[in-house]
Structure 1
Amino acid sequence: MEERKVSCILLEKTCKSDDKHSCREALLPKEKKKKLELVNYDSLPDYLKHNEFVVGHYRCEWPLKDAIHSVFAIHNETINVWTHLIGFFIFLTLTLYGGNKIPAMAEALYARQTNSLAGFSISSLTNTTGFMNHYQMTNLSSQPNPAITRWPLFVFLGGAMFCLLTSSACHLLSCHSEHTSYIMLHLDYAGISTLIVTSIVPQIYYTFACDPFYRAVYTATILALGLLTVLISLIPVFEKPEFRFVRSLVFVIMGLSGWGPIAHKLASYGGEPAALVTTMYEFFMNVCYGVGVVIYATRIPERWRPGKFDLVGHSHQLFHLFVIAGAYVQYLAIMVYLEWRDRVGCT
């Protein structure tokens, strides 16, 4: 350190006054300066090459501290980081605010959705104004039957927050090193598996709240599929770009496994309005996830105009938005499940 200070003083004395800044720059480690630059796709090491249609604005092997600070910088991962970070705080708010209350909105939904299936429309479920008009919060103590347990709701909210947080961390920190990228990617895959599993667990628990056998069978099945998916994601080739469709297919298959309990629900409780309403929500949840996966796998729209969507609008950013939308739709379905079981119990 002393030698560097002496060298800097001597160099400044030998430089002209207007060149002192460039003299100081010459003493800075060039390797660090290079790492803090945004680079093009062709300059990346193989482990950071995931999408050749996103051409520029990459961070490459930045120091960990600088990678963390880049959460406030502009690069091609900025929106990826913030979409799921904001999503995390949305679900944290839902956890803190709605954990001991339920929305008294099921009757309005029944009136809209179950009087005539022929009159069903997507807008009636997605009409935010209409929904909020019926979203008066009702204390659990006012329910006529003992309130059903809330732990499946919290499992879902915890799974959603884990998925969103690990996703944000992956996009923020993977640029640090190959080892960090490996860890972050596998945490990200584990987060996706966790979200899928914890989305299905509440629908199983509340549908079969009065049937422990089927509840146990379906829960064990989805947990086993989730564990298998995590183990498959540990295979090294799983993270390679050429296996993008394989990754998508694995997660899609696990998500579709939730339709077994849904079909059973309709067969057993088809005359119950809540069963129809929750199925509609679950259908739209799957649509959100499905559209997001298709966009992710096909890399639309950036494949049409490489380099034009580097900062805003590329497929992974759109995929993130559909994940948040799907998770929120599932939250609404769980609210209806809670109202149903609090209202009728096991009768």
Structure 2
Amino acid sequence: MSLLIHRNPPFLRRRANSAAAITVENVKAAANRLETVLFEDLPEWLQDNEHIRSGYRRPMNSTLACVRSCAMLHNETLNIYTHLIPAAALAIFQVYIQIKITQYFPEASTLDRIVIGANVIAAIVTFGLSASYHTLNSHSPQISSLWLRIDYVGILTLILGSFFSGIYVGFYCLPTPRTIHWCMITTLSFGTALLVLHPKLQEHKYRALKAYAFVATALTGFAPIGHGLYLYGWHEMWIRSGMPYYLLEGVIYGAGATVFITRFPESIWPGHSHGTTNT
């Protein structure tokens, strides 16, 4: 008798199975489409930029769902692909440039190859981490915050990579000054990392402070440039060290920081994503 009391009747089992099937179908259907929402509909942790009014993904709480959203249109789509495509292109370029070094500079040392390769790898890492952040930032508060900080580490990696190669070329025959400048920029980068990764500085109001920290780190590149000018003079530095390109790189870093702080163009034209600037 007790077994009969606790056993579900057949019609109840059929109803439960039917409800389960409907639930599974609803989940699958939701996963196959992406309904974007307005800024006001987002939880507070996703409300990062009030100037972009629509096109947001809802919190997904699923890595797979975030990855699948890359094939759909939302206000992070352009941000994802403007980082992902360059990362893939640079990975191919890395192989190409190493082949060309072997072909045209067979006498190049292992350190030569490592430094040149590290510059490209730093860019690949930066673009790859940024693409990952833009993909996963709607996952959950914890995952979004984690990947934002990883994205900052990627930016510092790019700064370090570009400085290491420039210092290596500029002080090729002077290993002691070269090592001193390498140690200086590495120490400053670690200091910047501690600042931008500090748990108490992750609120939106500290956004500008982080940008200024990145700019200050990048500006330390003028120290080895000034040292090189003192040793070799303007003409030699301009021709042999690639100084014009490093100055251009500094201008680009400054422009990027300005866009980051001012949220251009969306702060002027609300609703227009800065993904166009990334392009």
TM-score category, normalised to shorter length: 0.7 to 0.9
Among residues 114, 118, 129, which one is paired with 1:166 in the alignment? 129
Structure 1 segment 1-347 matched on structure 2, within 5 A: 6-7=14-15, 28=26, 36-62=34-60, 63-102=62-101, 139-141=104-106, 146-148=107-109, 149-270=112-233, 271-272=235-236, 275=239, 278-307=242-271, 309=272, 314-318=273-277, 320-321=278-279
Residue 276 to residue 39, structure 1, CA distance change in 2 (3 Å): same
CA shift, 1:316, in A, is 4.8
Query: 1:210 aligns to what SS in structure 2?
Result: coil
Amino acid at match of 1:48: L
Task: List per-residue Cα deviations over 1:230-268 (Å, max 9, x = no partner).
Answer: 111221243322222111100000011111111112222
Task: List per-residue Cα deviations over 1:122-145 (Å, max 9, x = no partner).
Answer: xxxxxxxxxxxxxxx96213xxxx
Task: List per-residue Cα deviations over 1:36-94 (Å, max 9, x = no partner).
Answer: 53111112122212110011111121132111111111000000000010110121122
- Identify which of structures 1 and 2 has the higher relative contact order when contacts are C-alpha pairs closer than 8 Å and 6+ apart: 1
Query: 1:147 aligns to what SS in structure 2?
Result: coil
Residue 110 of structure 1 corresponds to none
What TM-score, normalized by structure 2, do the two folds share? 0.84
Structure 1 Cα separation of the partners of residues 260 and 50 of structure 2: 13
Residue 29 to residue 73, structure 1, CA distance change in 2 (3 Å): closer
Residue 274 to residue 266, structure 1, CA distance change in 2 (3 Å): same
What TM-score, normalized by structure 1, do the two folds share? 0.69
Amino acid at match of 1:288: I
- Alignment gaps of 5+ in structure 2: 1-9
Amino acid at match of 1:303: S
